[in-house]
Amino acid sequence: MADILYIVVPCYNEEDVLPETSRRLKEKLTNLIEHGLASEQSRILFVDDGSTDSTWSFIERSHQSAEIFSGLKLSRNRGHQNALLAGLMTAMSLADVTVSLDADLQDDIGCLDEFMEKYYDGCDIVYGVRADRTTDSFFKRWSAHTYYNFMKKLGVHIIYNHADYRLMSRRALEELSEFREVNLFLRGMIPLIGYKTGTVEYTRNKRLAGTTKYPLRKMLSFAWEGISSFTVRPIRYITVLGGVMLLFSMLGLIYTLCRNFSAEGISLYSICLSSIWFIGSLQLLAIGLVGEYVGKTYMEVKKRPRYIIEKILDEAFENKKTYIS
Ligand code: UDP
Ligand code: MG
């Protein structure tokens, strides 16, 4: 008997792609069911992340027309990572295994069989890893490469060329639910779970339609999230920098005093001015960095809910609810 698979798809203003995405996903999941890789109770769970277009009404219509489609509506836009977590945590109680992927089908769903085979071979987590980045712009390729290397140097373990296309067993999801942090960077958190893992290589396609929901501003803030949520090394670097600067300024002071006693003399005015600017900016940078972490701690201490669910469209979920009450 095959296991129940939930395909979790976060959607934010995706009306342009959803008709085609839902058609392709339905075809794929039906195929998996027919080949005995997934149970008939498997579902495609669309998570509407507070869209302002017709995304939710499309999900509702899909659910009414075929029970293979389930829906989850967040009360407002909470961002990709929160929407994904909401979907995974909801699916956890209904599925044996989940696969998360993007609504624009940039992740090749042709690999789903391979994901499931690895799962049946005993993997609790299977990472989708991009074979190449030829469909990306030069800037995206370069920035992604630099970022991965930088994270590695900072001691943060992330899977190279892996985004959020991944399979997770229920056991792995239960462990993930124990991570209580508010600042989410799932691709850094999930490798911390451990268990037997595998990878599946795939070629990332271009977006089916519509525009990216990850503009540069969101991308940069996400990149910083990854660094500041996983390591305090930047603070240590600042401390080391402070130490080195102290050493140099002491040498500089000795040098200045020696020059003052010599016949040449020097311009004290310019030295003072440049030192003030230099030290000032260094202090600002250091204070800013410390502030970032203090701010983060503040957010974590509040333990606010990471998302609020407005509605769930899923028969299994409804049955479970009536059974419990
Ligand atoms: N997304 C979301 N909430 C947001 C932004 C994005 O749920 O606030 C979803 C989006 O609908 C898509 C996925 O996250 O399914 C990835 O976004 P996108 O494809 O636009 O990012 P890109 O591939 O351009 O980095
Ligand atoms: Mg995309």
pLDDT tens-digit map of 188-229: 889 988 889 999 999 888 888 888 888 888 888 888 888 888
Is 268 found in the same domain as 205? no
Question: In this predicted structure, what is the pLDDT of residue 215?
Answer: 82
| Ligand index nearest the alpha carbon of residue 207 | 2
Mean pLDDT (the chain) is 87
Q: How far is the CA of 102 from the centre of ligand 2 (A)?
A: 6
Q: Which residue in 322, 308, 319 sits closest to 86, CA to CA? A: 308
Same domain? 148 vs 275: no
Comparing CA positions, the residue from 135, 298, 164 lying closest to residue 226 is: 164
Q: Which residue has the higher pLDDT, 158 or 169?
A: 169
Same domain, 129 and 15: yes
Q: Report the distance separating Cα 243 and Cα 254, nearest Å.
A: 17
Index of the ligand 1 atom closest to the CA of residue 13:
11
Ligand 1 atom closest to residue 211's alpha carbon, by position in its atom list: 20
Looking at the 3D structure of the chain, how many domains does it have? 2
| Residue 122: domain span | 5-213+304-313
Position in ligand 1 atom list of the atom nearest CA 213: 20
What's the Rg (C-alpha) of the chain?
A: 25
**Segment 183-194, tens digit of pLDDT:** 888 998 899 888
Half-sphere exposure of 197 (CA within 13 A, CB side): 17
Report the range of poorest mean pLDDT among 95-99, 100-104, 306-310.
Answer: 306-310
Q: Is the CB of 260 under 6 A from ligand 1?
A: no
> Higher pLDDT residue, 17 or 285?
17
CA pair distance 305, 182, nearest whole angstrom: 8
Nearest CA to ligand 1 atom 7: 80
In a domain, 321, yes or no: no
Say which range, 141-145, 203-207, 243-247, has the weakest mean pLDDT.
243-247
Q: Looking at residue 265, what is its pLDDT?
A: 64
Q: Are residues 204 and 288 in the same domain?
A: no
Q: Does pLDDT of 260 surpass 90?
A: no
The pLDDT of residue 230: 78
Residue 325: what pLDDT? 46
Q: Read off the pTM.
A: 0.81
